[in-house]
Amino acid sequence: MSSDESFDDEYFDKSSPIRMSDRVLRSSSISTSSDQIMPMNSIDETYSSTNSNTKTISNGNFTSRSFEKIRLSIESASVHEVVERSSQIFDVNHLKECIDKAHICPGGRLELIIDSGKSFGLFHKNGLKCSICNKMTDLTNFPAQSSRQIQEPNQRLYAASAISGTGYAACPPPSLRANSIDIHPNARWQQNGTTVAGGNGLGSGLNQLNYPLGLYVDDDQTIFVADLSNHRIMEWKLGATSGKVVAGGNGQGNGAHQLNRPVDVIVDKESDSLIISDSGNERLVRWPRRNGTSGETIISNIDCLGLAIDENESFYGVDRKNYAVRRYRIGDTEGTIVAGGNGKGNRLDQLSSPQFIFVDRDHSLYVSDLWNHRVIKWEEGAKQGIVVAGGQGQGNSLTQLYVPLGVFVDQWGTVYVADQGNDRIIRWPKGVTQGTVIAGGNGRGVHPNQFKNPIGLSFDRHGNLYVTDENNRVQRFSIL
């Protein structure tokens, strides 16, 4: 599509090829736990210590951190094995704030110990679900906000749940499409992206893509891509030069072994399966992740584009015919409208061509509202939304968006948008009136610092940015 080609409602015509304005990003959902946390006592001193032999847990491997004066530890509930220790330079009052936002596996224990051995605050959680499993994650990366001077404010404090596997308490992974990403407010990214999938021209080879749309980045940085015009889902391992077909790829069709213009994909870790928005067949499909040869229709008659899932296994889908977003509980084929549904328009209770969605830990829904050139947030149960990005008409200033598509929200409420018409990725911190360009914005093109109609976006657990665009590639922009 040329830069001067107009956008219109042709994308509602399902007999026509999907348009740029039809592209749908995966929306991500961040889980929350219903468990109770015992309050941590406040401490009025600042302690410091030095890490040594620091390692990182990833993919379930055990390690620990040595410590001198302060220790933050996580203990397995089943075998009472310490699976993580951390020594840091921090203000304990700010540590309390960080811990309050953390989620621990059921029965797990988190304890803060000063060098005297006295424990300040013991955390017990006995709920049925958890949101940090199987991996080492950043509890937070908190800046120096105390009136006291903190020597190393940008150090990260790490915490982990009890690790699944032999000898450790296992907890079922959440069925969520994104990790709880905590990105520093002043974070920057490399301006030249690296192609990590596709980029070898339009085609159907295993090293090619044909209109990639939604993408999901797993904990090990494996990428799953909805390869629209090849009617398949591709898996690209970290560092691979070609991908693997993991769903579809048997021609366009409505058979159980086929897909028809899939636009979005997520990984349901609880069932170890892919959930696919099979747009052309108006269905949501569950496809076994390991050597699956066919899928199971779990929701029919859903004219769905963007897809999200929350920790309760409820699906959210864009109902493009009714200018709405619906939530589907297990076994529910009708769904409940949770955003829009009041006709096409620009009022706060309306949407005009909703495309992409994101569900946060509070079940607030973020929608990229294409023709209103805005991202609008609908809190759970709300009758109307709140504009959180754009909404100042079509344009290329930092207060405007131009046909926004992909949307992602981090733990602090910062909104990241694939500003398609402006060929850039822009971030809007919570409460601000204008955004900041973090990638692209250098004209339309094929160079590493350019996009051609950016579509889907996501982040991995390290904060690296991934973007699909009409150069038939996935670009990764490494966080600095």
Angle at CA of residue 375, ends 374 and 378, nearest 5°: 130
pLDDT tens-digit readout, 149-167: 222 333 333 332 222 222 2
Lowest mean pLDDT among 77-81, 143-147, 212-216, 413-417: 143-147
Domain ranges in the chain are: 46-160, 186-477
Q: Which two tokens stand for residue 37?
A: 């946390």
Distances 278 to 204, 263, 441, 472 between C-alpha atoms, Å = 18, 7, 32, 19
Please provide the average confidence, as pLDDT, over all residues in the chain. 71
Q: Which two tokens stand for residue 7?
A: 């956008």
Instruction: Spell 25-56 as b/e; 16+ CB within 10 A means b.
Output: bbbbbbbbbebebeebeebeebbebebeeeee
Alpha helices per DSSP H over 210-295: none
Which pLDDT band, with edges at 50, 70 and 90, does 270 fall under? confident
CB atoms within 10 A of CB 205: 13
- State the average pLDDT over residues 102-117: 42
CATH class, 186-477 region: mainly beta
Lowest mean pLDDT among 134-148, 176-190, 241-255, 269-283: 134-148
| Cα 396 from chain centre | 25
> pTM (2 decimals)?
0.68
313 CB contacts (<8 Å, ≥6 apart)?
A: 175, 270, 329, 330
- State the average pLDDT over residues 65-91: 38
pLDDT tens-digit readout, 404-456: 999 999 988 999 999 999 999 999 999 999 999 999 999 999 999 999 999 99
Which strands sit side by side in the sheet containing 304-309, from one edge to the other? 304-309, 315-319, 324-328, 336-340
Whether the CB-CB separation of 171 and 161 falls below 8 Å is answered with yes
> What separation, in Å, do the N-terminal and C-terminal C-alpha atoms of the chain show?
33
Whether the CB-CB separation of 271 and 277 falls below 8 Å is answered with no
> What is the DSSP annotation of 219-256?
TT--EEEEEGGGTEEEEE-TT-SS-EEEEE-S-BSSST
| Cα 22 from chain centre | 20
Greater model confidence, 292 or 97? 292
Which pLDDT band, with edges at 50, 70 and 90, does 53 fall under? very low
